[in-house]
Each structure stands twice: as C-alpha cells, then as structure tokens.
Structure 1
Amino acid sequence: MFFDSTFLLLVPAMLISIYAQSKISSTFNKYSRVKSYNGYTGAQVARIILDDSGLHNVPIELVSGKLSDHYDPRQKVLRLSQDVYYSNSVASIGVAAHEVGHAIQHKNSYAPLIIRNTIVPAVNIGSNFSWILFVLGLMLGIRPLITFGILLFSAVVVFQIITLPVEFNASSRALKILKSRNILYPDEVKGAQKVLSAAAMTYVAATLMAISQLLRLIVISDRDR
C-alpha cells in the first residue's frame, strides 16, 4: 500500500515543495545580506507598525529557530526569530511586517483568519488520526472507518486552502505599510516582496501536497472496494 503506483500522485507536489523550500531559503539569504537604508531592525519595524495600528498591547518576543516567526492569536503575542528580530536587512523587515499583518488581521476580524483559527482543533485531530483510521479501515475491511479517515484528512486540506488568502493578505498589508510609512524605499520594497512571494510559494506547495494526499486516499479507497 505504501509503495504502490498511487505515490505518483504525490510526485508533482513533492517537486514543487522541494523547489519552494529552496526558493525561500535562497531568497531570504540573498536579501538578508541587503541592509535597509533606514537601519530599522525587524523588531523595531514590528513595534512601529503594531503601535501605528493601535496594537500597543501586543508584545514582541524572541523565539528560537530559523524562519520560525509567527503571530500567536491565542496569546496575542508576536514572536520573531533571532535572524529577524535583530537584523536590519530587507528580508528581516519584510518577514517582521508580514507577521504584524496577521496581528492586524486578528484585530480586524479578518474572516479567513477567524475561520482558520476556528477549525484548528478539527485539523489537529485530522492530521493525527486520519491515516490511522484509514489504514485500520483497510486492514479490517470496515468501509465507514475508511470514509471517516478521508473526511478527517479533508479538514487538513480545507485548512491549507484557507491559509492561502490569510498569508497573501498579510503580505499585501505588510508591503503597503512598508511603502506608505517609508520604512523601506521602493527598491527595498521590491526585495521584501520577493522574499514574501517566495514564502508564499511554500504555502501553495503545502496546499498542493495536502490535496494530492487526499486524492491518493480516495484512489486507494476506491481501488480497495
């Protein structure tokens, strides 16, 4: 089952994922060497945009890992990796502004973000148990169990699809603010846009992989009838 022809369904998404990871790594590394003219660090830019947006109560914390930057909507905390927090590069500023974009989405009750946050519990269950139930259903010949496994994994696919507008919108907000506030100059904004576009590609790749996995489950299920 795990080494059959249905794996071919995953190949295109796997190749795109490999390319996307390579692209974000190379693009971030390239623009992390380009220092911004104004000299703001990622943390400083994040604080400026947060305060301008009325989010004075959102703290900025340092988090370990590379490109582990994120906004936590539950605790209302912005977390930046060391490479972003302390750096005054175009790449770091773009990433920091993007994460603040999520905080602004949360403040404004941006619908796709609210939906995504709401379905997180179902997604966690789906990602942890869908394959277990699916495989047990195949082994025991229990069709309802197979179907339930597919339905659980469908929640993962929905989550990935909803993530796309959330990420694209956060990047769009970030670039507009960086330009309008003159935090970055036009040429620098183009560099930040390239970094965020490369990051967006990883979300597209993740979505394609999830869809491909779902299709594979369906094909295996139909073949086992």
Structure 2
Amino acid sequence: MPTDLLFWLLVLPGIVVGAYAQSRIKYNVAKYSRTPALSGATGAQVARYLLDARGLEQVAVEATEGVLSDHYDPRSKTLRLSQSIYYTPSVAAIGIAAHEAGHAIQDADDYFALEMRNLLVPVVQLSAQIAPWIFIGGLMLDLPRMAWIGAILFGASTFFALITLPVEIDASRRALDQLVSHRIINDAKEIEGVRAVLRSAAWSYVAAAVSAIGSWVFYLILLFARGGRNRS
C-alpha cells in the first residue's frame, strides 16, 4: 500500500472526529452560554461551593485569560476558569466549572489515572519536542535504534492521550453528580444542558486519542517496513 494512502487511512479518522468534536463544543457551549442558570450562580461561585463542600478550601479559584482555557493545576492546587466561565451564571459555565472542580476532587482522592497523567506531563512535553527529530533522523541516517527511540517517545504521547480519556470522563461524571446532589441544578433542561456540554467536550479527548493512535501506528509501520527491506 502506498505510504501516502496509508498515512491518510490512519490519520484521517482523528481529523474527522476532531472536526466533529470542535463543531459540537462550539454549538453546545454557545447555546448553553446563552441559557441562564436558574440558581443565578456563576461558574466561580459553583466551583468554590463544590470545593468547599468537599473540604478543599485550600484550592484557589482564579479567573484566567483565553477562551475555554479552563483547567485545574495540581501543582499549585489552583482551579483557573476563563473569564466567560468565571463571571457568567449560565448552564455552560456551571457545567464547565463543575468539571474542573471534579479534577480537584480527583486529585484529593488520589485518583490513579490522574496521578499517572500528571507523572507523564514532563515526559510528553519533552517527547513532543524531540521525538520527531529523533525518529526522522533515525530513518534518514539508517539508524534503526535511533528511530525506535523516537517511536517509543511518540508512544508516550499516545499513552498520555489514552489515559486522559478516563480522567476527563470521570471528572464529567463527578461534575454532574455533584451539581445534582447539591441541588445546584434540578431542572431537567438544565441537567440535559450540562450533560450536552460535558459530552461534547469529551469528544475532543476521543479525537486526540484516535489521532495519537493513528499517528503512532503509522510510525511503527514505517519502522517495520524499513526493517523488512533491510533484511531483504
């Protein structure tokens, strides 16, 4: 099979799923950002309430720049919400804020998948910079061991994408459970709105995993094909 065709067969699914995920995120976040939360609580207020209810008063909640730049930083124990989430009393805002609070609760619970992902962060950051050069250099210089080191580093990024899936899905599950159990949302339409926002965000992580797997398999096939030619 031609290399170009193989590349697209393996990488295209991730691109398609990624495009679908982005369209769903934009649609649902835009739709439910215009839907007021019946409680009148902003994203920041919801995050603070859920953290305090879990005994996590030491976790700070801050506003940050950017669009959908919301994240939890386990190193500084800080939950950062984009300004449109931090200050807005909308269904989308409280859903996203609760999701990030879910990560802080995972951290407090020593959730294994989150701990594993956190350990991989420096490795993945390094591999993203050097893996392509090592892999390509190994192929061009006909140094199989060097190319395999590059492929293994690519594998770390693939594993990171895979382990991110259960982390994000669990955080969304915790978010919805906490919002309902604390009666922050109890209207059926609000619940469905939060679920739609969280579900669409999950698709972006599915896309990342599919893309990472496809790319890694392509690199491995190149290596095995090169090895087969060398033996012949």
What amino acid does structure 2 have at the position aligned with 1:156?
S
What amino acid does structure 2 have at the position aligned with 1:208?
V
The residue that corresponds to 1:69 in the other structure is: 70
Equivalent pair of 2:44/2:86 in contact (CA under 8 Å): yes
The residue that corresponds to 1:165 in the other structure is: 166
Deviates further, 97-106 or 10-19? 10-19
What amino acid does structure 1 have at the position aligned with 2:19?
I
The residue that corresponds to 1:28 in the other structure is: 29
Q: Distance in 1 between matches of 2:44 and 2:172?
A: 17
Per-residue deviation, residues 186-219 of structure 1 (Å, max 9, x unmatched):
3211110110000000000000000001011012
The residue that corresponds to 2:187 in the other structure is: 186
The Cα of 1:2 is off from its aligned counterpart by: 9.0
Q: Does 1:137 align with 2:154?
A: no
The Cα of 1:171 is off from its aligned counterpart by: 0.5
Matches within 5 A, 1:210-221: 210-221=212-223
Structure 1's 26 and 150: CA in aligned 2 closer, same or farther, altered over 3 A? same
Matches within 5 A, 1:89-128: 89-128=90-129
The Cα of 1:7 is off from its aligned counterpart by: 3.0
Query: Secondary structure of the residue that 1:83 maps to in structure 2?
Result: helix
What is the number of residues matched between the two proteins?
Answer: 225
The residue that corresponds to 2:230 in the other structure is: none
The Cα of 1:39 is off from its aligned counterpart by: 0.4
Deviates further, 204-213 or 185-194? 185-194
Equivalent pair of 2:6/2:218 in contact (CA under 8 Å): no
Query: Secondary structure of the residue that 2:164 maps to in structure 1?
Result: helix
Q: Distance in 2 between matches of 1:158 and 1:12?
A: 18
What amino acid does structure 2 have at the position aligned with 1:219?
I
Per-residue deviation, residues 2-29 of structure 1 (Å, max 9, x unmatched):
9564233111111111111111111110
RMSD value, Cα:
1.4
What amino acid does structure 2 have at the position aligned with 1:153?
F
Equivalent pair of 1:6/1:219 in contact (CA under 8 Å): no
5+ unaligned residues in a row in structure 2: which ranges?
Answer: 228-232
5+ unaligned residues in a row in structure 1: which ranges?
Answer: none
Q: Does 1:39 align with 2:34?
A: no
Q: Distance in 2 between matches of 1:66 and 1:220?
A: 38
Query: Secondary structure of the residue that 2:214 maps to in structure 1?
Result: helix
Q: Distance in 1 between matches of 2:210 and 2:114?
A: 20
Query: Secondary structure of the residue that 1:167 maps to in structure 2?
Result: helix
Q: Distance in 2 between matches of 1:114 and 1:181?
A: 27
Query: Secondary structure of the residue that 2:76 maps to in structure 1?
Result: coil
Query: Secondary structure of the residue that 1:61 maps to in structure 2?
Result: strand
Query: Secondary structure of the residue that 1:62 maps to in structure 2?
Result: strand
The Cα of 1:130 is off from its aligned counterpart by: 1.1
Query: Secondary structure of the residue that 1:121 maps to in structure 2?
Result: helix
Equivalent pair of 1:36/1:88 in contact (CA under 8 Å): yes
The Cα of 1:224 is off from its aligned counterpart by: 2.3
TM-score (norm 1): 0.96
Per-residue deviation, residues 47-75 of structure 1 (Å, max 9, x unmatched):
10011010111111111111100000000
Query: Secondary structure of the residue that 1:119 maps to in structure 2?
Result: helix
Equivalent pair of 1:6/1:220 in contact (CA under 8 Å): no
What amino acid does structure 1 have at the position aligned with 2:211?
M
Q: Distance in 2 between matches of 1:216 and 1:34?
A: 44
